Amino acid sequence: MATQYKNLINGQMVENGEWLDVVNPANEEVIGQVPACGKAELDQAVAAARAAFKTWKKVPIEERRAALNAMADAIAENHEELYRLLTAEQGKPHAQAMGEIGAAPAIIRAQAGLSLEDEINEDSDKRLSRTRRVPVGVVAGIVPWNFPVLMAVQKIAPALLSGCTIVLKPSPFTPLTTLRIAELIADKVPPGTVNVITGEDSLGPLMTGHPDVDKITFTGSTATGKKIMEGASHDLKRITLELGGNDASIVLPDADPKKVAEQLFWSSFTNAGQICVAAKRIYIHEDIYDELSQAIADYAKTVVVGDGAQQGTGVGPIQNKKQFDRVCELIQDAKDHGYKFLVGGEVDPSGSGYYVPITILDNPPEDARIVAEEQFGPVMPLMKFSTEAEVIERANNSDYGLAGAVWTSNPDKGVEIAEQLETGTVWVNEFLHLSPLSPFGGHKKSGFGVEYGEEGLKEFTYTQVITVKRDKVPA
């Protein structure tokens, strides 16, 4: 029988006798079961978080920091078990799972070091006015399946540091590593401060609509983000939404094809392309298009697609059947339109596992579905451009505004173009680098608010201005 993983509610690992199966996307075998929760369990978790909030909000920040650092230590001490479990449920190759599990404690520790100091608004003979930050209360965290552990800790850490308590819901596709972490940290934090409950997608709207939840912090698709915003409006809950992206990479004519080919490849294909900030549209200047597209294609042919638990795998399976079908549909659409494939495009439906071959398209039109939509799979359209003004317009021609990149041997030129892109993050000669100390968030339909850094921490707080009248009589 598959291992059963329990939920964390009020400091206890609990189950309700109803179970959901969790499947390994590399072979479609059931590798674990998690509780199928509904309103009753959510009510218990929210009540525990509410009760814990009464005392946690008064705990000195040094103690809250110590609890976070203890959580980070517990994750770091169990690195190997956790990364193997993450590969088994998520599909990413071991090296990338090690990266995610290794980054989790680093993110917690970095965020634990943040603080929000009081600000003096007025210090005069008439009054002393200061702004302080107070925690919003009970937070509901809802996370997706592509980086289940990172997304969980980047919500838990600032919530707890600010003095909030949290009820976290992992994706039904990838709850196992998060529940194992919940078990490891259960005795590192007071009961009720961190609760982790699992269920189908239908548990999400119950959280959004719960009258005793004060804030929703969500990472996932733009479509779900809109529903959350709507659901949260009834109680005017605070919201932070990290949503989808269709990031453009722009390669200028002075970029060295030999130097950038491999990096461009991984900016699209890390985690089988299932990254909100993956490069999903690559614009290459016509002067170097042929040489660079060939170099990327040559490199792509050296990368192995397979089970992430096998040594040598560079690109794992798609995480779940629904996403696999969607990526296959986009590839089929490209075929139906007669677009040219440089690499891949042939999905083998026989055998088990959700494998899509590395697929690179040669200059499809701007309105191709595979260009205009977020693919979220191992698919990379390369497109030719002639002028800077044209490529900036094409890059910005999207409802999304998450991130982007510019590749050039002239960093000043890179920055000049970066400043014209309508996205929350832009890299020059780099990709996928996010810092827990810098605000991360999307423009347009890629999000609402930010995570990380002081700006992200502020989203778990209200401002409170305290003004004291002074009656100093002028001498």
Q: Can you give the binding site for ligand NAD, defined by CB under 6 A? A: 142-146, 169, 171-172, 201, 204-205, 208, 219-221, 224, 227-228, 242-245, 276, 374, 376, 402, 442, 447
Residue 6 Cβ vs ligand NAD, minimum distance, rounded to whole Å: 18
Given a contact cutoff of 8 angstroms between Cβ atoms, the answer to whether 447 and 424 are in contact is yes
Q: Which is nearer to ligand NAD, 135 or 377 (CB)?
A: 377
Residue 247 Cβ vs ligand NAD, minimum distance, rounded to whole Å: 10
Name the residue whose CB lies closest to ligand NAD.
204
Residue 120 Cβ vs ligand NAD, minimum distance, rounded to whole Å: 34
Strand order through the sheet with 127-135: 119-123, 127-135, 461-469
* Cα–Cα distance measured from residue 397 to residue 406, given in angstroms and rounded to the nearest whole number: 16
Which structure tokens are listed for 421?
Answer: 């892109």
Q: Which is nearer to ligand NAD, 227 or 384 (CB)?
A: 227
Q: Which is nearer to ligand NAD, 35 or 163 (CB)?
A: 35
Nearest-10 Cα torsion for 220, 50, 163, 118: 110
Which structure tokens are listed for 288?
Answer: 């170097």
Q: Active site residue: 41, 89, 100, 242, which one?
A: 242
Give the list of residues 6+ apart from residue 221 with CB closer than 8 angstroms, or none. 144, 243, 244
Q: Active site residue: 276, 374, 451, 459, which one?
A: 276
3-state secondary structure (DSSP) of residue 463: strand
Given a contact cutoff of 8 angstroms between Cβ atoms, the answer to whether 14 and 152 are in contact is no
Q: Which is nearer to ligand NAD, 87 or 423 (CB)?
A: 423
Given a contact cutoff of 8 angstroms between Cβ atoms, the answer to whether 276 and 321 are in contact is no
Residue 143 Cβ vs ligand NAD, minimum distance, rounded to whole Å: 6
- Using a 10 angstrom Cβ sphere, with 0-12 exposed, 13-18 middle and 19 or more buried, the burial of residue 90 is buried
* Cα–Cα distance measured from residue 48 to residue 7, given in angstroms and rounded to the nearest whole number: 13
Q: Which is nearer to ligand NAD, 6 or 169 (CB)?
A: 169
What's the one-letter identity of residue 51?
A: A
Residue 376 Cβ vs ligand NAD, minimum distance, rounded to whole Å: 6
Q: Where are the beta strands (DSSP E) in 319-460?
A: 340-343, 359-362, 379-385, 400-401, 403-407, 425-428, 443-444, 447-448
- Can 328 be counted among the known catalytic residues? no
- Can 454 be counted among the known catalytic residues? no
* Cα–Cα distance measured from residue 443 to residue 239, given in angstroms and rounded to the nearest whole number: 15
Q: Which is nearer to ligand NAD, 239 or 288 (CB)?
A: 239
Residue 37 Cβ vs ligand NAD, minimum distance, rounded to whole Å: 12
Given a contact cutoff of 8 angstroms between Cβ atoms, the answer to whether 265 and 300 are in contact is yes
DSSP-assigned letter for residue 468: E
Place of tokens 């930010």: 450
Question: How many alpha carbons lie under 13 Å from residue 156 in its C-beta half-sphere?
Answer: 32
Q: Which is nearer to ligand NAD, 196 or 418 (CB)?
A: 196
**Residue length of the chain:** 475
Q: Say how many C-beta atoms besides its own lie within 10 A of residue 443's C-beta.
A: 16
* Cα–Cα distance measured from residue 196 to residue 175, given in angstroms and rounded to the nearest whole number: 9
Q: Which is nearer to ligand NAD, 197 or 288 (CB)?
A: 197
| Among the listed residues 402, 453, 398, the one whose alpha carbon sits nearest the alpha carbon of residue 425 | 402
Residue 451 Cβ vs ligand NAD, minimum distance, rounded to whole Å: 7
What angle (nearest 5°) sits at the alpha carbon of residue 53, between those of residues 47 and 54? 105
Residue 216 Cβ vs ligand NAD, minimum distance, rounded to whole Å: 8
3-state secondary structure (DSSP) of residue 252: coil
Q: Which is nearer to ligand NAD, 105 or 144 (CB)?
A: 144
DSSP-assigned letter for residue 311: T
* Cα–Cα distance measured from residue 16 to residue 203, given in angstroms and rounded to the nearest whole number: 15
Give Rg (Cα) of the chain.
24
Catalytic residue ranges: 242, 276
